[in-house]
Amino acid sequence: MLRSHQKMSEADIEQMNEMRKRDIPISRIDDFLPSLVEGYENVPYITRDMHNVNAKQRRERGLDVDLCLRYLCECKANDPVFSYKKVIDIFGDVIVFDAMYKKNIYLSPLVVFFSVNHHNQTVVLTATLVADEKDETYVWLLQ
């Protein structure tokens, strides 16, 4: 079949979506679908087509950040006490705060602040062992 004639049907897309909802990777779906139509030669599309459909659906849903912000707006609308702050710089970097609970030899929480820069590289901003997990300690860390 010519490449220009290859296309996933709506039924195939729906089946792929159901399998993706169950965290089945596209490579496994690609291995499974030929068994339904008695061989690879009877599948009217290639693995790349499944990846393309999946990517298109993700673009249509929006970015993870957009989904998160929409969710936070809904929470704010439903609960007037709820608050959040949106901070975005020119690169859209994210700073992650991770307190690994007593997973080190000192049995103290290790708090790591790290980010992913505009080159998609992880950057450790700071890391510290804290003696306790009181609110004041975390306030001090964030200042």
CB neighbourhood size of 54 (10 A): 16
Structure tokens at 45: 């599309």
DSSP string, 117-139: -TTS-EEEEEEEE-S---HHHHH
The whole-number average pLDDT for the span 88-114 is 64
**Domain ranges (residues) in the chain:** 1-86, 87-142
Buried-state track 40-51, b at ≥16 Cβ within 10 A, e below 16: eeebebeeebbe
Q: What is the pLDDT of residues 12-22, one digit of tens each?
A: 899 889 998 88
Q: Is the pTM of this model over 0.75?
A: no
